[in-house]
Chain A
Amino acid sequence: MIGGLFIYNHKGEVLISRVYRDDIGRNAVDAFRVNVIHARQQVRSPVTNIARTSFFHVKRSNIWLAAVTKQNVNAAMVFEFLYKMCDVMTAYFGKISEENIKNNFVLIYELLDEILDFGYPQNSETGALKTFITQQGIKGQSQTKEEQSQITSQVTGQIGWRREGIKYRRNELFLDVLESVNLLMSPQGQVLSAHVSGRVVMKSYLSGMPECKFGMNDKIVIDKQGKGGTTEDTGKSDLGGGSSGKQSIAIDDCTFHQCVRLSKFDSERSISFIPPDGEYELMRYRTTKDIILPFRVIPLVREVGRTKLEVKVVIKSNFKPSLLAQKIEVRIPTPLNTSGVQVICMKGKAKYKASENAIVWKIKRMAGMKESQISAEIELLPTNDKKKWARPPISMNFEVPFAPSGLKVRYLKVFESKLNYSDHDVIKWVRYIGRSGIYETRC
């Protein structure tokens, strides 16, 4: 199991050092500093073995987190724990920065004592932790016996992510379907690989211990219902608008927050859960079939002699004309020996950024089924370098108000038997956002 956990700033100074196991000595702290942080190289493996000690490291802005062990630990678990640790710290004091860590070091030690015991991760849900570890010092002195046992049963219980007795005057929930669409296209316009990785993020402000059921246009469920002929769920509580697009989508794979009953999903493919309070990620999914690619990039690069390049890039939007894409940015890489660039674009603004070796073309808004073009002349300095320019792909960023995978939320039902509110009283909001992930076209 994890033998120790260290947090360093970018200079390699220790901000937090907590040792859990006897086999980890103080010299491990220095070994990591010298061999990894001070090496100042590109990290060539996230697991580094120094003198039979393994270091798992993760970097968040300028901060290094390193878990240390001398045993054959579950490596995936260690990384998951480090990410979780980051989440917990962010939930407590915001951004992970040197200042914030120094300001909260007592709190961090407290958290580390609680969520990692002898190197074994314990309950690390902020919802539960916040009931007894707070920034204003620990609660505990003034608690009644009932409160105490409520805390402990929650920390160790089946529903570790939610505490009892939550009350809201207005029961409300927000569902965000956030998708990032990834594309790799050949210069000829052939799709080399494309997939959507999506997340359903839920913000819930619900009283009591509500039982929720979530439904979407999952092909497997729809097909099953089509056969069975039951239409009970459809229509009435449809939140997605269901106006257009595909009836159902094929989901390659999905993973769920630990609140979702996985065995029920496995057997019935229904998604039921008691949600944590506030914001959390309900599920992640991945699709590869019938993806709507919001933009198409058509590059044309011509080398004119040894000192000049001509680049022409056309982008076409491929969605309903009534929808608007936002924050569009096209990044056209230029060779290292570029000396000057002239750009002409029909729409938006384009600039050559020498420090990034790229022409960056920005368009604020663009409606569907439109087309725009940029052309540029790149002057090159003559070099002796034999190696040809690697021609990195042209990448794109954008945001569109629909889900490129075609996913639609069909319903989210809330049941709370003990309190007197019903599914109809809950105000529900759904939003779809499609963003570019790695959206690249080779040129």
Chain B
Amino acid sequence: MTDSKYFTTTKKGEIFELKAELNSDKKEKKKEAVKKVIASMTVGKDVSALFPDVVNCMQTDNLELKKLVYLYLMNYAKSQPDMAIMAVNTFVKDCEDLNPLIRALAVRTMGCIRVDKITEYLCEPLRKCLKDEDPYVRKTAAVCVAKLHDINAQLVEDQGFLDTLKDLISDSNPMVVANAVAALSEIAESHPNSNLLDLNPQTINKLLTALNECTEWGQIFILDCLANYSPRDDRESQSICERVTPRLSHANSAVVLSAVKVLMKFMEMLPKDLDYYGTLLKKLAPPLVTLLSAEPELQYVALRNINLIVQRRPEILKHEMKVFFVKYNDPIYVKLEKLDIMIRLASQANIAQVLAELKEYATEVDVDFVRKAVRAIGRCAIKVEQSAERCVSTLLDLIQTKVNYVVQEAIVVIKDIFRKYPNKYESVIATLCEHLESLDEPEARAAMIWIVGEYAERIDNADELLESFLEGFHDESTQVQLQLLTAIVKLFLKKPTETQELVQQVLSLATQDSDNPDLRDRGYIYWRLLSTDPVAAKEVVLAEKPLISEETDLIEPTLLEELICHIGTLASVYHKPPSAFVEGSRGVQHKRLTSSAGSGESVESPDTGSAAVSEAPPTVIPSQGDLLGDLLNLDLTPPTSTGPPPTTAPGMQLGAMDLLGGGLDSLIGDESEPPPIPLRTDTPQSPQPPHQSPSPPHYSPTEVAPGNHTGSLGGDIGGSPAMGTGFGAPPAAMPASFNAPISGGLDDLFDLGGGGGLTMGTYIPPKSVWLPAMKAKGLEISGTFVRRSGVIQMEMTLNNKAMSVMSDFAIQFNRNSFGLAPAGPLQILTPISPNQSIEAALPLSTVGPVMKMEPLNNLQVAVKNNIDVFYFSCQYPISMLFLEDGKMERQVFLATWKDIPNENESQFQIKDCHLNSDAASNKLQGSNIFTIAKRTVEGQDMLYQSMKLTNGIWVLAELRVQAGNPNYTISLKCRAPEVSQCVFQNYETVLKN
């Protein structure tokens, strides 16, 4: 029988002919016609016009014909819902058929037809089928519940199917159990908090029993479900592990990987000194290695997972390096992954073998692979100090091959080796310089320039080399330009006599002829440093650099923990949390590892406590150094009148971030606490990835350059030729409407007392010291932010601790995330005499220039008086920006909540809060956080709240308060998820005060 003929009909009038055949009296002809229809459907032709004719064929005893018609129905019922009703009767009848195969077929197909009217009729047959005497029907019905839930979740709950499904977990047939587990797991994913699966020791026991009996696929469903269970103690954990380990010998790799997942997870609970713990570790290695002899696609999945396992528990595979050696015929994706794991496993013990392999790989054909191999050699050098010398000589050998991309890659890694082992391998510089011309990739050029600049004193013709790059300065990419600028400044500081011209040339290129703010800013800083105090410049630019860390490309620990819980799944292949690639509600819950309590293992997994604690950024006021760059930036670029909302435009992370994030860290050394810079930033000065912020400031110029330097720097600003306006100029004109209520600082003081009633409930953070006297020549400023009847005010106390009178105050803000700007000048009318303090209130508007700050609510301020200009930064509570009309309509709320993609959702814990939900709601209302609805589910109060930011961003919140539990859970959803962290902090401060 050949069916291929059905594919060949391409005549015109085909549909008409088919119609005739479908209505033929002859059974055979009918069947032929339906086959033709299915063939057309497969290749993508629209045969929906034949719907009634095909459905007419449904009432038949011929099972094959029936199956074909069902297939057609599944495809087209949705497009013809009214016609689909015609099929209902047959379905219902088939569900009563004597043959269990037909009963199952009917219920299976019905579940696939997503038409409401059919779904209504599905309930009764489904109920019967769930209790059918035949296991085949029951296992099909179990899956059908999941189908129905996907179409109409409410219906499933109302009809009580969930309970029936739960009962099936105790079914006598292993396949029914497995399918019930699969269905329940899927449904549970869309109800993160329902205790649907209700995993308890009894059910676990049932699942473990079924595990021994069901099909390979069933074993996977059960193991994946087991992985979600949290054993009560280490003994239970061990007994489950013992019953899962036999699965490691299954021929199906997915069974093995799912078993590995369960073991990796439950192992966290076991005390490390337990004998069993060691046994388990030993048992895990062989099956993981065996996975590498599977088909290449599975090898790839296995390798991606092994990459995670090796990061979490390096001891498992530390002796298995050889199995990761690349085979000549491996597909490229397997090769690249193996290479990654080889580097992770490299240690002093095996480094010789590894290096020999890597050298071999560096001569292969695939460019990506070769590059990665060369890079790997560099990483070995950094990781295993004893091997560094051998690595360097290997790299030099490779450079001799003169293969363009090999040379470039080698130079990039050699630069890292120089940073790791300063003053050790500089003898190779001469060889490197020979290849200067062949470098055409920005990264390699930048690396080479860095080397020339760093070792300028040892390279005779450093000036010529750098000058040769300067000719095409404007055609270079930014990283090369920045590198060149720095290198020439270094050169100048080392050999000032011969290179003055060169440095002037590069400074003018960078500052006057460039549109790039990063470059300009860096140029100006150097310029000023060099012109004011060359000694300081030397200290700054030629300072010692922080060491680079050994381990590279490690996955961030919290993400790693989450991914370990997803071993075997797509998340582990992508190395991304499911929320990053799954739409809808599924897979949003963040899984974490739970470690045994109190067995001293908390060091192992430091963040098991709560997400909130570890994620909250340190609320330190950034040291003054950060301001430097930003405030200089302030006047150089014309302010945009009303910038777009900062959080929606990722491109807003402008130059200042870069400069501060890491741009300067190698220019300006830091004696205090150099944070290790991950090697990921491949050029030494390239910025740290922004997501790593908030990181502690990388340097503090107050230490590098003592106080008077900062002062003179600031004082110089006005006189600098490149500066447009100094700080003396008054800020933007005050909007008229603000004039009336604010007459001056003193009046405002009264306002504060009198207006108390108005702001009842509003939480006002206590004043904190923003600018200590010792940093500002005796001026101490402390302050806070207040929102009063829609007006944001910055309330400050200025305290003169100096010996002389202070006057001529003015204030200015750096661009910030929400465009906060003074709405009027700072009203300090009388000079402040020594030891006098004065209150001042500054109304703020939100129409100033916008730039994203880190943290988001950071505000950098410059205050000027007759003595000097001072800089400080402070953080405002984000509730200052919550508008009074932030209460959303219920429907709008619901729609918006659904509409915002799930990856924008973030969850936090608020600990130790002893308010009930109503009190909390009232308190929050004072800060313009409005409760829209309240729902009580199983003793848990859910508050749905909304707030609106001044720039029009809505934040939606779901606050869960459990009676008697001082820990609140809050989920925030916002189109601009960056604000969530700030909003959460605000919640915490408001609720706790």
CA gap between A261 and B211 in the complex, in Å = 11
How distant is the Cα of A197 from the Cα of B323 in the complex, in angstroms?
13
- Say yes or no: is A276 at the interface (Cβ < 8 Å to chain B): no
Which residue of chain B is the closest to A123 with respect to CB atoms? B215
The distance from the CB of B358 to the nearest CB of chain A, in whole angstroms, is 13
- The verdict on A177 contacting chain B, using a C-beta distance below 8 Å, is no
Q: Are B578 and A72 in contact (CB under 8 A)?
A: yes
- Interface bracket on B: 35 or more
Q: A72-B582, A74-B224, A102-B3 are in contact. Are A148 and B246 (CB under 8 A)?
A: no
Q: Is the CB of B251 within 8 A of A258?
A: yes
Contacts of B43 in A (CB 8 A): 13-14
Asked if B287 contacts A253 (CB within 8 A), the reply is yes
Q: Which residues in window 352-402 of A have CB below 8 A to B?
A: 386-388, 390-393, 395
| A140 contacts chain B at the CB level, 8 A cutoff | yes
A52-B108 CB under 8 A given contacts A121-B217, A140-B99, A158-B213: no
Flag if A145 contacts B98 (CB, 8 Å).
yes
Q: For chain A, what secondary structure do more than half of its interface residues adopt (helix, strand, loop), or is it mixed? A: mixed
Of A103-111, A220-228, A305-313, the segment with at least 4 beta carbons within 8 Å of chain B is A103-111
15 pairs, CB–CB < 8 Å, chain A vs chain B:
A71-B586, A74-B220, A76-B254, A120-B182, A122-B179, A122-B217, A148-B101, A158-B213, A192-B325, A262-B250, A265-B249, A267-B246, A281-B251, A387-B403, A392-B328
* B139 to A, closest residue via Cβ: A156
Chain A residue numbers with a CB within 8 Å of B61 are 141
Residues from chain B with a CB closer than 8 A to the CB of A189 are none
B570 interfacial contact with A, CB 8 Å: yes
B68 to chain A, nearest CB (A): 7
Interface digits, A85-121 against B, CB 8 Å rule (1 contact, 0 not)?
0000000000000010011111001100100011011
- The CA of A277 and the CA of B586, in the complex, are separated in Å by 41
In the complex, whether A135 has a CB less than 8 A from a CB of chain B is: yes
Chain A residues closer than 8 Å to B176, beta-carbon distance: 156
Contacts of B1 in A (CB 8 A): 103, 135-136
Q: Which chain B residues in 60-106 approach chain A with CB under 8 Å?
A: 61-64, 67-68, 70-71, 75, 98-102, 104
For A304, what are the chain B residues with a Cβ–Cβ distance below 8 Å? none
User: Once the chains bind, are B216 and A258 in contact (CB under 8 Å)?
Assistant: yes
Residue contact A80 to B254, C-beta cutoff 8 Å: yes
Complex interface: stretch among B359-367, B711-719, B758-766: B359-367
Cβ-neighbour of B401 out of A152, A265, A388 (below 8 A): A388
Q: What's the minimum C-beta distance from A275 to chain B, rounded to whole angstroms?
A: 14
Q: Determine whether B237 belongs to the interface, using a CB cutoff of 8 Å to chain A.
A: no
Instruction: Judge whether A17 is part of the interface by a CB distance below 8 angstroms.
Output: yes
> Would you list the 9 A-B pairs with minimal beta carbon distance, nearest first?
A253-B286, A152-B136, A102-B4, A266-B246, A76-B254, A77-B254, A72-B578, A46-B297, A262-B246
B residues 1-39 in Cβ contact with A at 8 Å: 1-4, 6-7, 35, 38-39
Answer yes or no: B497 CB below 8 A from chain A CBs: no
Any chain A CB within 8 A of the CB of B42? yes
Given A29-B44, A72-B582, A117-B108, CB of A103 within 8 Å of CB of B296: no
The interface residues of chain A lying within 8 Å CB-to-CB of B62 are 141
Would you call A105 and B186 a contact (CB within 8 A)?
Answer: no
Residues of A within 8 A of B360 (CB): 442
Is A44 an interface residue, CB under 8 A from the partner? yes
A residues 185-201 touching B (CB-CB < 8 Å): 186, 192-193, 195, 197
| Any A CB within 8 A of the CB of B684 | no
* B168 contacts partner chain A, Cβ-Cβ < 8 Å: no
Query: Is there an interface contact between A286 and B289, defined as CB atoms closer than 8 Å?
Result: yes
Question: Which of B7, B147, B215, B290 is packed against the most chain A CB atoms within 10 Å?
Answer: B215
Partner of B71, one of A21, A109, A392: A109
B604 at the interface (CB under 8 A from A): no
Taking the closest CB of chain A, its distance from the CB of B262, in whole angstroms, is 13
CB distance from B970 to the nearest CB of A (A): 25
Asked if B586 contacts A72 (CB within 8 A), the reply is yes
Residue contact B179 to A120, C-beta cutoff 8 Å: yes
Number of interface residues of A (CB under 8 A): 109
Q: Which of A234-283 contact B (CB under 8 A)?
A: 252-258, 261-263, 265-267, 281, 283
Q: B134 contacts A152, CB within 8 Å? A: yes
Interfacial residues, chain A to chain B (CB-CB below 8 A): 1, 13-17, 19-23, 26, 29, 42-47, 49, 52, 54, 56-58, 69-77, 79-83, 99, 102-106, 109-110, 113, 117-118, 120-125, 132, 135-138, 140-141, 143, 145, 148-149, 151-153, 155-158, 160, 184, 186, 192-193, 195, 197, 252-258, 261-263, 265-267, 281, 283-284, 286, 386-388, 390-393, 395, 438, 440, 442
Q: Which residues of A contact B42 (CB under 8 A)?
A: 14-17, 105
B249 touches A109 (CB 8 A): no
**Contact between A106 and B569, CB atoms less than 8 A apart:** no
User: Which A residues are CB-close (under 8 A) to B357?
Assistant: 192
Distance between Cα atoms of A267 and B243 in the complex (Å) = 10
Question: Interface-forming stretch among B298-306, B592-600, B654-662, B804-812?
Answer: B298-306
Is B263 engaged at the interface, CB distance under 8 Å to the other chain?
no
Asked whether A263 and B44 contact (CB < 8 A) given A72-B582, A255-B290, the answer is no
Q: Which of B164-186 contact A (CB under 8 A)?
A: 173-176, 179, 182, 186
Chain B residues with CB under 8 A of A157: 135, 173-175
Separation of A420 and B710 alpha carbons in the complex (Å): 101
B109 nearest CB across to chain A (Å): 8
CA distance A17 to B7 in the complex (A): 14
Which of the residues A29, A70, A122, A156 comes within 8 Å of B135, measured between beta carbons? A156
Residues of A within 8 A of B213 (CB): 158
Q: Enumerate chain B residues within 8 angstroms of A79, measured Cβ to Cβ.
A: 253-254, 295, 297-298, 301
**B143 contacts the other chain (Cβ, under 8 Å)?**
yes
Indicate if the CB atoms of B569 and A120 lie closer than 8 Å. no
Q: Are A256 and B101 in contact (CB under 8 A)?
A: no
Question: Is B140's CB within 8 Å of the partner chain A?
Answer: yes
Q: Is B785 an interface residue, CB under 8 A from the partner?
A: no
> With the chains together, A281 CA to B98 CA distance in Å?
37
Q: How far is the CB of A72 from chain B (nearest CB, A)?
A: 4
CA distance A261 to B250 in the complex (A): 10
Contact indicator A56/B67 (Cβ below 8 Å): no
Min distance, Cβ B866 to any Cβ of chain A, angstroms: 60
Q: Check A1–B574 contact: CB distance below 8 A.
A: no
Name which residue of chain B comes closest to A140, CB basis.
B63
Contact: A258 with B68, CB < 8 Å?
Answer: no
Cross-chain contact of B296 among A42, A46, A77, A281 (Cβ < 8 A): A46
Instruction: Verify if B293 is at the interface (C-beta below 8 Å from A).
Output: yes
Q: A74-B224, A193-B325 are known contacts. Are A49 and B217 too (CB-CB below 8 A)?
A: no
How long is the Cα–Cα vector from A440 to B330 in the complex, in angstroms?
Answer: 13
In the complex, chain B residues whose CB is within 8 Å of the CB of A1: 182, 186
Neighbouring B residues of A135 by C-beta, 8 Å = 1
A101 vs chain B, min Cβ distance (A):
9
Q: A21-B150, A56-B297, A109-B67 are in contact. List 19 more A-B contacts (CB 8 A).
A: A16-B42, A22-B114, A46-B296, A47-B570, A72-B578, A79-B254, A80-B216, A82-B297, A105-B7, A120-B221, A121-B217, A153-B135, A155-B136, A193-B322, A258-B250, A262-B250, A263-B212, A265-B246, A284-B293
A21 vs chain B, min Cβ distance (A): 8
Q: How far is the CB of A149 from chain B (nearest CB, A)?
A: 7
Question: Nearest residue in A to B325 (C-beta to C-beta)?
Answer: A193
By a CB distance below 8 angstroms, the chain B residues around A257 are: 251
Does B566 interact with chain A (Cβ within 8 Å)?
Answer: yes
Q: B429 interface residue, CB < 8 Å from A? A: no
CA distance A267 to B42 in the complex (A): 50
Partner of B289, one of A17, A20, A192, A252: A252
Q: How far is the CA of A44 from the CA of B364 in the complex (A)?
A: 16
Nearest CB in chain B: distance from A52 CB, A = 6
CB distance B111 to A132 under 8 Å? no
User: In the assembled complex, which residues on chain B have CB atoms less than 8 Å from the CB atom of A286?
Assistant: 286, 289-290, 293
Cα A70 to Cα B243 in complex, Å, equals 32
The distance from the CB of A238 to the nearest CB of chain B, in whole angstroms, is 25
CA distance A82 to B297 in the complex (A): 10
B568 at the interface (CB under 8 A from A): yes
Instruction: Say yes or no for B327: interface residue by CB 8 A criterion.
Output: yes
A255-B290, A391-B363 given as contacts; is B582 within 8 A of A71 (CB)? yes
